[in-house]
Structure 1
Amino acid sequence: MGLSNAISGGIIMVALIAVLLTVPGIVGTTSVVQDASTDISEIETKIYNTGIAVSSLSSSADSALVTFTVSNPGSEKLWDFANFDLFITYNGTSSGLRTEQLTYSGTCSGDPSAGNWCINSFTNDLLDPSILNQGEAMNLRSTLSENTDTGLVAVIISTNNGVSTSKSTTN
């Protein structure tokens, strides 16, 4: 009887030690999952608060220059312009209908080189210079790789967190 009590006590002790050694791993995993959930929630909030709109789209036939204004109706600050995506669909004078992805080239000093876009100026830039806050706008210039022909010119711009907008016009 005494030996069986000692053996059962040893088994219970081993089981308790195994449980105590397992608990920190479970707690650590729970913490990692909670941190990931918090990160996802923050990203979703940024996306929800991001707003972008295109206006004043201008393009002329036989010209590669396309100008337009981007405004921020959302509450998220927009500043990572190098990671914005800009696509322009147009009728090229020699190639016909095409879509071109343009590369950000910073602040304008004249027209950007072919295949690039730049920020010409900010409007109502009262808070955080060179950051697009709510209610502010930026005037953009872009140069296509070939001149536009008459017809469609469509601009699609996407922020670094994936929110996009578009606008089209005809020459």
Structure 2
Amino acid sequence: MYCPRTKTPLKKVNVGRVSVYVSEACGGVLLENQTLKNFECPSDKRGKALANHLSQFHNEVADLTQRVSCPVCSDTVMLRRFYSPLHAVEIDECPGCGAIWLDTGELEKLQSLMLSEKDRAILRHELMKEHERIEVKGLPHKHDNWHRRSDKVDALFDLASYITNGW
């Protein structure tokens, strides 16, 4: 496989039993489908190790807006999309195989946006408290008592059947 930016060979590196493909020419990294979640947390050992490894190859890429082809599916152009909800980091993703290409510095940007488990728990608690269920009671409607009406109708039919059977 070759780097989509520099067309140099990618080097396979195992980080905590997860294989990634690093471009030593530009500092980019290719992650197979669903493996980015293993590296996005900055406090995780894998995330730190990969970020440290990539930092030694940090080079500026001339044009990040240029579309690149997937190193795995060479005939497929990768989609450029935002990874984070804050729209701060754009990544390249293959629509065919799901591989993700991170250019130099993008992993560090992703890691800086991720919250720790403790921060997530605090945020979750605050959001739940802020969005508690609210019960809204309106004015009574004229048809709210229909169930009582059916009881009266049933009583009327009972009276009618008593009168007709009784005679």
Please report the TM-score for the alignment, with normalisation by the length of structure 2: 0.22
Higher strand share: 1
Q: Larger helix proportion, structure 1 or 2?
A: 2
Higher-RCO chain (CA-CA 8 Å, sequence separation at least 6): 1
